[in-house]
Amino acid sequence: MGSTSFQAPTGTRDFYPIELARRRYIERAWRAVSVRHGFEEIDGPTFESIDLYKAKSGEGIVSEIFHVHSGKDERSRAGAEQGGAREAPFALRPEFTPTLARMYASRAAQLPRPCKWFWQQSCFRAERPQRGRLREFMQWNCDIIGDGSPAADAEAIGVCVGLLEELGLTPEHVKVRFNHRGALAAVVSRLGVDEQHMPAAFVLLDRRDRLSDDDLEAMAFEFGITSFDFLRLLKRPRNAQGIDAMAAALPAEVARDAEALLEPLRTVESHLAGSGVGPWCSLDLNVARGLAYYTGMVFEVHEISGAMRAVAGGGRYDNLIETFGGPATPAVGFGMGDVVLSLVLQDKGLMPGDREIARALGLRPDVQVISNGSPESDALVPAVVGELRRAGVHARRSYKATKNIGKLLKEAADADARYAVIIESASEVTVKNLDDGTQVKAPRADLRAHLSPAR
Amino acid sequence: MGSTSFQAPTGTRDFYPIELARRRYIERAWRAVSVRHGFEEIDGPTFESIDLYKAKSGEGIVSEIFHVHSGKDERSRAGAEQGGAREAPFALRPEFTPTLARMYASRAAQLPRPCKWFWQQSCFRAERPQRGRLREFMQWNCDIIGDGSPAADAEAIGVCVGLLEELGLTPEHVKVRFNHRGALAAVVSRLGVDEQHMPAAFVLLDRRDRLSDDDLEAMAFEFGITSFDFLRLLKRPRNAQGIDAMAAALPAEVARDAEALLEPLRTVESHLAGSGVGPWCSLDLNVARGLAYYTGMVFEVHEISGAMRAVAGGGRYDNLIETFGGPATPAVGFGMGDVVLSLVLQDKGLMPGDREIARALGLRPDVQVISNGSPESDALVPAVVGELRRAGVHARRSYKATKNIGKLLKEAADADARYAVIIESASEVTVKNLDDGTQVKAPRADLRAHLSPAR
C-alpha cells in the first residue's frame, strides 16, 4: 500500500481530545438541563427515507441534504443513474424533528401524554460552510408532545433558558425573543392581507430587521402584497418592541380590537413570568421563523448585539404529528446547535479552561503510579495499575523512560492527578496527595483506603 | 400536506426512552472504563472521502459501504451519473480506524507518545441485516498509538477486559482468545508456505473452527497451498489450544525451534498474566483476524459457547499510520459493537432493570412538586418547579388533571422520585421523603435545605 495524505471533508471537524472535551462540556450541559426539566432522551437513525424530509419541509430542502445509498443496492443504484431528486432513497438527517414526528406517530396510542423528549446528536447540511454554519454539527432538541397549553410553551422556553443559565450566560449576554404566529396572523389579516399572501407576509416580517424600508416595500410589491396598513406596520421603527408598541402601531379601527387580537401574546408573556424566565424574554415582532409548520408561539435566542446567527429557535407545531400519520397532537419544541453557542461562549469568556473542563467531565486522574526505580518496583507497575483500575480507580502510569522520581511527580501534577503512588516494594507504597502535598507510607494492601473518593 | 406513514430504514433502530437508556448504560460503561484506563476521547466526521476507506481495506469494502453525496454538489452529481465505484466522493464510516489513522498522521509531530485514544459513535454497513448485525450500530474503539511494546498489547486487552468486568461478565461467560500474527507467520513459513500464499494461509486459519477437514483441504488446494505440514497443523483437533499444544503439533525439524518461533506468544501471555487479566485469556490458533493490516498480537472476545459473533476484536497494526501519510508508528487497538454485547448481557441476565438503569444513569427525579389542590397552590407549581430546576434540582410536576393527592403521590413514587413536595401555601411546603416515608412541613424559602444531595 502506498502512503497518501487525507483531510477531513470540508465543513466537518476533527475533534482531538481538547476540542472534544469542549464539545462534551456543552453536550453534558444539554443533557443535565434536559433531565432536570423532566425530559427523556430518544434517538433515531442517522439517515432516513428522503421522502420523510420532503413531507415536512417540501422539495426545497432536498438540494441542501446529503443523499445516501448503498454501494450494492441495485434499486438505489438504478435510481442514481437516472439522476434528479429521486436518485437516492435515503438522506443524512438535516434535522431531527421529522424522525421525532415519525417515532411519535407510530406509537402514539402507547405513549404518555405529554411526551417530553430530548435528543442530541449530529445533523448534516450540504450547504457551503461559513462562520457559525458547518456541514456536520451537533444539535440539541427538546419537545413537549401532546400538550397544547401555554404552560407547555413556557416550559419549552424554560428549558432553553435553563441551558443558557447553566453555561453562565445572563440576560446581558443573550435574549429570548418570542412571538405568536396566531396573534400575528390575526393582526396581519385585519390589516388586509388575505390567506393566500400570509406566508409571504411572514417572510417579510422575518426579514424586516435585516432589510431597509425601501427593500421591504419592493419585496412586498413583488409578493403582490398591497395593504398600506401592513406596509406601515412593517416599516415602523425596528426597535419598538413589546405588546403595547405593537398595539400602538395598529390603525385606529384595528387598534380597537387590539386586546383581543394580541391576547395569545399576553398569555405567553404571563406564563413566562410565572415560571421565572420573564427577565430573559421579550416580545419581538420580527420573530416569525422561516419554516411553514409553526402554528403558535415561536421564539429565537440571539446574542444581544445581534451580530451572530440565532443560538436556538423553536415554537409550537400543532399539525406536524398528523402530517406523519399520527393522531392530531399539539407539540412545542426547539433546537440549538453547538457551533453558534460555542462562538458565543468563547466571545463572552465563558468557555472554561481545559483543566476546569476535564474536572467538570470527571476526567481527572485519581492516581499516577510511579516506580521507585528498583527493578522489582518497575515490574510491579502494571499489576498495581491493573488492581486500581479493576477497583474503579482512574489510574495512570508513565510511558517515559526516565526513572527520576522528581520528573515523574511533575508528570503526575501536569496530568492533574489527585495522588501519586510510589511503589517502594512488593508490600509497601508511598501515597502522596498532590492537592495538599502530604504523603504517607502504607502497606500496598491498604492502598485504596488511603485514596479519598473523588470530589 | 397529506398524511403519510413512514418507517425507520431497514437495519436501523428507533430508540424510545427505555431502549436508549439501555444503550446509554453500555456507552456509559465504555466511557468510564476508557477514562479509568487513561484513554482520551476523540471524534471525527460521520462521513469521509471514500478513498480513505479504500486505502486501508481495499476495493472490496466499497460494496458494503453507504455512499454519500450532496444534492447540489455538481461534481459529485456528475460522478453519480457515470455510475460505478467512484460515483460518490464520500462514504458513511463503516469503522473509525481510518479516521483515527488520518487524524494521527496529520498531527503526529505534535502529539504525545503514546496517544491513548478512545472513540464511541455509530458506524454504518450496507449489509443485509441479521441477528447481531445491523446497518447502523454503536461502536467503541480503544487504541494505543506510538507504543510497540508487549506491555501496550496487554494494556489494550486489559481495557477490553475492564469493560467486560464492569458490566458483570466473568471468564465463565466470555473468553478472550489471542494469537500473534508474527509468531504464526514464522511457524507457517517454516512449514513450507511461501510469502505469496501467507494471506491465504491466514484466511484458512481464521476459518478452521467453522470448516470440516475436507473443506479446509479443498480450500487450501484452491488457494494453491500444497504444504503437507501446514495441512496437518490446520487439521489437528480444533480444541487443542495453548502454546504447548501448538508446539506439539509441529513436525520434528520445526519443533526443535519451537521455543524461538513461539517466543512472541509467550511474551504476550506473560504480560497478560502480569497485568492481572490472565484468567480471561487463552491462546487460540484459530484467531487470525480477517483484515490484512494486523501485524502482531491479535485477539477476539467470544461468548463462551461460541454461538454468537465476536463481542470485540482487535490487535496490533504497526504499518497503518504510515499508509495514511504519517511517520512509521506502532499501534494496537480493538473495537466492540453494542449489538452483540447487548445480546450477551441479556442472555446472561446481566442487563439491569429499567429503574436500576435510570438510577445508574443519574436520571432519577429528585422532586415531584404537587399542589395541595387550592387555586393559590395550583398557580405556584410552575414557579416552585422553576426555582428548583434553576438550582440544579431534577424537578417534575404532574400533567394529569387530578387533584387527588394520593394519586399524585403514587405518580411521584412510580416516577421513582426521591421526594414529593406539596405546596401548602405561598410560604409553606410539605417535604415527603419517598424512600423512608418521613415528612416535614417547612417554609418554602427553606425547601432546598430539606433535600439531601442525590446518592
pLDDT in tens, A117-156: 999 999 999 888 887 789 999 999 999 999 999 999 999 9
**Smallest Cα distance from A99 to chain B, Å:** 8
Contacts 24+ apart (CB under 8 A), A448-453: A448/A388, A448/A391, A448/A393, A450/A419, A451/A366, A451/A367, A451/A393, A451/A418, A451/A419
| pLDDT at position B162 over 60 | yes
Contacts of A62 in chain B (CB under 8 A): 71
Residue A341 and residue A349 in contact, taking contact as beta carbons nearer than 8 Å: no
Q: Nearest-CA neighbor of A105 among A141, A139, A142, A146?
A: A146
Contact B106 A63 (CB under 8 A): no
**Segment A391-408, tens digit of pLDDT:** 999 999 999 999 999 999
**Segment B244-256, tens digit of pLDDT:** 777 887 888 888 8
Instruction: Give me the residue from B3, B107, B387 closest to A276, CB to CB.
Output: B387
CA angle B304/B308/B311 to nearest 5° reads 80
Is residue A150 within 8 angstroms of chain B, CB to CB?
no
A263 vs A285, which has greater pLDDT?
A263
Instruction: Provide the percentage of residues in chain A whose pLDDT is more than 70.
Output: 92
At A390, the pLDDT band (50, 70, 90 cuts) reads: very high
Give the side-chain half-sphere CA count within 13 A for A245. 13
At B240, the pLDDT band (50, 70, 90 cuts) reads: low
CA angle B267/B268/B273 to nearest 5° reads 100
Rounded distance between C-alpha atoms, residue B23 and residue B12, angstroms = 14
Q: For residue A57, give the chain B residue with the closest CA.
A: B1
- Tell which of A6, A90, A451 to mutate to test the B interface (max B CBs under 10 Å): A6
| pLDDT at position B203 over 80 | yes
B293: number of Cβ within 10 Å: 18
- Comparing A70-84, A166-180, A247-261, the range with the smallest average pLDDT is A70-84
Residue-level pLDDT at B361: 97
**Segment A217-236, tens digit of pLDDT:** 999 999 999 888 898 888 87
Contacts of B72 in chain A (CB under 8 A): 63-64, 126
ipTM of the complex: 0.93
Residue-level pLDDT at A46: 98
Residue-level pLDDT at B246: 76
Buried b (16+ CB within 10 A) or exposed e, A238-270: eeeeebeebbebbeeebeeebeebbebbebbbe
A370 vs A453, which has greater pLDDT?
A370
Residue-level pLDDT at A147: 97
**Mean pLDDT, range B361-390, rounded to an integer:** 96
Could you identify the residue written with the cell 396598513? A229
Cα A145 versus chain centre, distance = 18
- Tell which of A48, A124, A275 to mutate to test the B interface (max B CBs under 10 Å): A275
Residue-level pLDDT at B436: 96
Contact B17 A42 (CB under 8 A): yes
At B69, the pLDDT band (50, 70, 90 cuts) reads: confident
| pLDDT at position A82 over 60 | no
**Smallest Cα distance from A341 to chain B, Å:** 19
Contacts of B51 in chain A (CB under 8 A): 4, 6
Q: CA distances (Å), B10 to each of A76, A88, A90, A444, in order? A: 14, 15, 11, 54
At A3, the pLDDT band (50, 70, 90 cuts) reads: low
Could you identify the residue written with the cell 466511557? B31
| pTM, 2 dp | 0.93
Is residue A386 within 8 angstroms of chain B, CB to CB?
yes
Residue-level pLDDT at B140: 98
Residue-level pLDDT at A74: 44
**Smallest Cα distance from B306 to chain A, Å:** 26
A434, amino acid identity: L
Contact A9 B323 (CB under 8 A): no
Counting one residue from chain A and one from chain B, the pairs whose CB atoms sit within 8 A come to 292
Residue-level pLDDT at A44: 98
Residue-level pLDDT at B2: 47
Report the relative pairing of strands B40-41 and A439-443 from DSSP bridges.
unpaired
Is residue B154 within 8 angstroms of chain A, CB to CB?
yes
**Smallest Cα distance from A254 to chain B, Å:** 32
Residue-level pLDDT at B75: 47
Contact A3 B324 (CB under 8 A): yes
**Smallest Cα distance from A308 to chain B, Å:** 25
Q: For residue A147, give the chain B residue with the closest CA.
A: B399
Residue-level pLDDT at B105: 95
| pLDDT at position B292 over 80 | no
